[in-house]
Chains A and B, each alone.
Chain A
Amino acid sequence: MSDTPIDVRNADGQAAGRAAPDNYLTHARGFRSWAFTLDHKRIGVMYLVSLLFFFFLGGMLAMLIRAELVEPGMQIVSKSRYNELFTLHGAIMIFLVVIPGIPVALGNFVLPLMLGARDVAFPKLNLASYYLYVAGALFMLAAIAFGGVDTGWTFYTPYSTTTNTNVVPVVFGVFILGFSSIFTGLNFIVTIHKLRPPGMNWFRMPLFLWSLYATAIIQVLATPVLGITLLLLIVERAFHIGIFDSALGGDPVLFQHFFWFYSHPAVYIMILPAMGVISEVIPTFSRKHIFGYGAIAASSIAIAVLSFLVWGHHMFVSGQSDLGNMIFSAFTFAVAIPSAVKVFNWLATMYKGSIALQTPMLYALSFLFLFGIGGMTGLFLATLSTDVHLHDTYFVVAHFHYVIMGGTMIAFFAGLHYWWPKMTGRMYSERLGALSAWLVFIGFNLTFFPQFVMGAHGMPRRYADYPAQFEPYHLLSSIGAFLMAAAFFLMAGYLLHALRRGRPAPPNPWGSATLEWQCASPPPYDNFAVTPQAGDPYDLERLRYDAARGWYDPDEDAKSAGGAGGAA
């Protein structure tokens, strides 16, 4: 272990850039140092790159869909091919991008640093999670290559058990991805329980960690049910076991119960970490302590628990009993409450704060707006009487894109831009970042808001063709989609440019008080030579802004327990 820990107190931004001190990226080189790494930061980076690749792939499928839907009639693909397009768009985005999402791409990197720890509790398991992710992804890609699946990403029986497309490889890939998710959740729970530094009790943890913890609980409890569901589906197709086949005495609606028992908590796996990112970004860019820390922490756990009680709201028109319908509708209204609690706390945090409209904050503000719309439109769907009309229309499509994309993905980009300096040691172009954020926001609303309207007017989802009355909406939506795609390409451009030519990043460019900003950017291989002392993670007053250099001075209060002082 020959790397010299970076002495933050003497860090000089410009000099660090030229002297290129040893960090986790330079610590070891070569393919094998990455392929067999146990370093959580490298694993996080590998996840991030994979995730962005699959976001690109899923996005291209979306572009094909939107291109096809510009006009009525089939112009680009056949109808059965269209079914495959939306199935794979959904499956890739859900299982390869959004569910792994923030926990693996950002959480892996940031979690141990926020704890002042050296790594997660089980580094080898972490690497295994990544390889399971890759294996699952390969199975799904193989299915695309060999003909695709047309069941919709929800794989409802009896169609999924009888269609002659390649259901089994995709479903098996998802099964493997499930275990990747379980192991990641397991790892995070143990890490948060066991590897907190001295002084960091549960209520001094950054809220991002609370959200990762709540997410991990859902991952460990819910994902196995998906596992057994998919296993039964595979066995059904291979051996005709008959559990979901009504002709053999089975119950197809039981599949839906099984599937949604996981997939509803899964959407909270998607949104909770996103909310955690927002809980970090908003205080930092408002220069103000988070308002209602306890309420936000408690609401994360409340969401995790309540999320298990609402799955039937996907089945209101599937033959579910009236009693079941009423129970699930009531609980669905309840689960909206903790989310609203968070939104109010964030707004209160911003109130009378000193708001800096930098790129992460722009995305955070977008989140508040878009997630707000997404969440409130969910109430229309939770109401039994309106859901009967809105189920399986574009209203539902718009709702979940607002929460998943407008919520999770926007928060993902907020977090990406927030932690980018830490991860790469480079700053990106703030102007292009802001431009891209605006374009994404405008493009997103242009894409999905018309879908609410046409859904309310009856446009069904998963339809390749439609009557002429819906054409204006589809046209607007497709234009928005192309605008969004352009914005994402712009983002890719300036981020890649920053990797090479960006201004070297200081340890704490944004002035946050959480522990990951106490090490250099990028961090050294073993994170911290000495465990930092944890204080209040939102006490921003104690950080001084150095106007001459344009960054925040190191946090003097986060001394190590052993007090190495000065030069390490």
Chain B
Amino acid sequence: MHDRESSSLAHGEHPPHLQHHFSDEQQQLDSDKLGMWLFLVSEILLFGGLFCVYANYRAHHPEVFIYAHRYLDTTLGGINTVVLICSSFTMAWAVRAAQLGQRRALVTLLALTLLAGLTFLGIKSVEYEAKWKHGLLWGTHYRPVAEEPAAPGSASGGAAPTAAAPTPAPAPTPASVPAATGAQSSGAGQPLRQGGQWIVEHSLIPRAAQGPAGLASGLAASQPVEPGQIVEQPKNVQVFFAVYFAMTGLHAIHVIAGMVVIAIMLLLALRGRFDDGYYTPVDLTGLFWHLVDVIWIFLFPLLYLIR
């Protein structure tokens, strides 16, 4: 029974972390968890709006997405995915350590999670910087430029003298993956400008017979595209980058927020505030961090792995 007489005793006589309006710790723990899950629901709905934007534009302009996603570096995206998954692991382990009262493990694991977050943000900033450099931004800022000819081996099989990859230069270029035959290359085709038109070095747009329904008519060329052939890019490619930056930007903000909270948890853990009797804040922080991971698990294939 929730008899409050017993919980209105002086502080020393009831559990120190029990707040006065709860009658026992189970109720408090259950309430805290439910509250956190409800907050996660609101975060899911927040991102849900962006997924709606994505779904709409991709459904009605698939050619834009298929064309533009090649500018994203799948390798970096994949690394980021792995980084976040591992950080989820360390976070879950940290919660376990907190539950078992293992203070040193808790501190270490929280620090590792933070490190993973930093790595994620670092890779993200590399990607963003590359986009900026190549003018691959949103709206009216979308002014793609090709770089000066860089390392000769930048394109596997690239032959044109002005060939240069508008893909992130410092990172291991996805073109280092040898382009498979036909329409199977996974990395970036290297479209570049030549007098207002675009040359598709390695066409990823398969022939009409093979390609996704309706795509072939989406480009001015309903005939198949050969390497070196001049084609037009689809209209409104900047929409892809608007969606990309909106989604990954909001996600990055949440990564930063999560890292701030984890840092606070780290400080509190260092001061010995958590023990096996009280670790709820770590638990709730973990839930938030896992949600950040969950969102990225959906973002990665939707943005980077489009066919």
Contact = CB atoms under 8 A, between A and B. Distances in A.
* A adjacent to B, CB under 8 Å: yes
Interface of A: 1, 112, 117-123, 125, 182, 185-187, 189-190, 193-195, 197-198, 220-225, 227-229, 231-232, 235, 239-243, 245, 248-251, 254, 257-258, 526, 528-531, 561-562
B139 A220 contact: no
A85 to B, nearest CB: 30
Given A194-B27, A232-B246, A186 B38 contact: yes
Contacts of B48: 224-225, 228
B34 A224 contact: no
Interface in B6-61: 8, 19-22, 27, 30-31, 34-35, 38-39, 41-50, 52-53, 56-57, 61
A249 B235 contact: yes
B3 interface: yes
B35 A245 contact: no
B4 A258 contact: no
A77 B113 CA distance: 59
Contacts of A189: 34, 38
Contact of B139 (A117, A187, A241): A241
26 contacts: A118-B21, A122-B35, A125-B35, A185-B38, A193-B31, A194-B30, A194-B34, A198-B2, A224-B42, A224-B45, A227-B46, A228-B46, A228-B50, A239-B139, A239-B141, A241-B138, A242-B138, A242-B238, A242-B242, A248-B139, A248-B236, A249-B235, A249-B238, A254-B53, A258-B52, A562-B3
**Band of interface residues on B:** 35 or more
A211 B245 CA distance: 40
Contacts of B151: none
A457 B64 CA distance: 47
Contacts of B52: 257-258
Contacts of A190: 31, 34-35, 38
Nearest to A250: B239
A239 B238 CA distance: 13
A235 B140 CA distance: 13
B148 interface: no
Contacts of B245: 241
B153 to A, nearest CB: 35
B238 A235 contact: no
A133 B111 CA distance: 35
B94 to A, nearest CB: 24
B42 A241 contact: no
B239 A248 contact: yes
Contacts of A229: 49
A228 B49 contact: yes
Contacts of A197: 2
Nearest to A118: B21
Contacts of B38: 185-186, 189-190, 220
Given A117-B21, A229-B49, A194 B236 contact: no
A171 to B, nearest CB: 15
Given A186-B35, A194-B34, A239-B138, A221 B41 contact: yes
A241 B20 contact: no
B19 to A, nearest CB: 8
Contacts of B50: 228
A185 B53 CA distance: 26
A298 to B, nearest CB: 22
Given A220-B41, A225-B49, A245-B139, A561 B35 contact: no
A531 B2 contact: yes
Interface string B121-142: 0000000000000000011110
A1 B4 CA distance: 14
A223 B41 CA distance: 11
A223 B1 CA distance: 36
Given A186-B42, A193-B31, 13 more contacts: A123-B19, A189-B34, A190-B31, A224-B42, A224-B45, A224-B49, A231-B250, A232-B53, A241-B242, A243-B53, A254-B56, A528-B4, A561-B3
